[in-house]
């Protein structure tokens, strides 16, 4: 699998777009999300955070019926809530990018993102940070560490190498 293309965010909408893609890719085929992405751009006002944050229940209903996007109501609502959170964090000194970089290390940044934003799991958070150009551990290293942590949390053991 090819690594996703990284960007240099120039506006808050860039961050919201990447985060929303991470949200909708969770549990879905990435190809399905990519195929519908132009529809997402139109349906979510080019991911302008202030516009999306102002969406109402009527907008949720409209989006839940919009065949151009993946019509998962919980993810639609998460995108609106995430836009609200992003706008609020962007209002602090240093803006959203400053908030992202204000954490001690990668693990602290992941924990902060997962604590503030909805529908961001470990993989989605890694994807988000990677695509927006933040420092992340090498993917193989992260996957290995993540797999051993996930096995410990579930009470199962990683498969033995033979």
Are 131 and 6 contacting, i.e. CB atoms less than 8 angstroms apart?
Answer: yes
Q: CA-CA distances (angstroms) from residue 97 to 13, 89, 125, 131, 132? A: 12, 9, 15, 13, 10
Q: Is the pLDDT of residue 157 over 80?
A: no
Question: Structural domain boundaries of the chain?
Answer: 12-154
The mean of the pLDDT values for the chain is: 90
Span 31-59, average pLDDT: 97
Tokens of 37: 């992405």
CATH 3.30.470.10 fits 12-154, yes or no: no
Phi (first) and psi of residue 48, to 5 degrees: -65, 115
């Amino acid at each position: 699998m090819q690594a996703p293309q990284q960007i240099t965010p120039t506006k808050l909408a860039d961050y919201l777009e990447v985060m929303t893609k991470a949200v909708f890719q969770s549990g879905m085929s990435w190809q399905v999300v990519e195929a519908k992405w132009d529809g997402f751009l139109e349906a979510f006002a080019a991911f302008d955070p202030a516009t999306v944050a102002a969406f109402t229940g009527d907008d949720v209903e409209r989006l839940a019926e919009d065949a151009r996007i993946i019509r998962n109501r919980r993810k639609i609502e998460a995108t609106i809530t995430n836009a609200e959170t992003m706008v609020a964090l962007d209002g602090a000194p240093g803006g959203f990018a400053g908030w992202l970089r204000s954490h001690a290390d990668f693990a602290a940044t992941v924990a902060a993102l997962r604590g503030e934003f909805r529908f961001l799991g470990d993989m989605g958070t890694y994807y988000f940070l990677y695509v927006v150009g933040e420092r992340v551990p090498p993917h193989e290293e992260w996957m290995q560490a993540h797999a051993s942590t996930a096995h410990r949390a579930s009470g199962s053991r990683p498969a033995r190498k033979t």
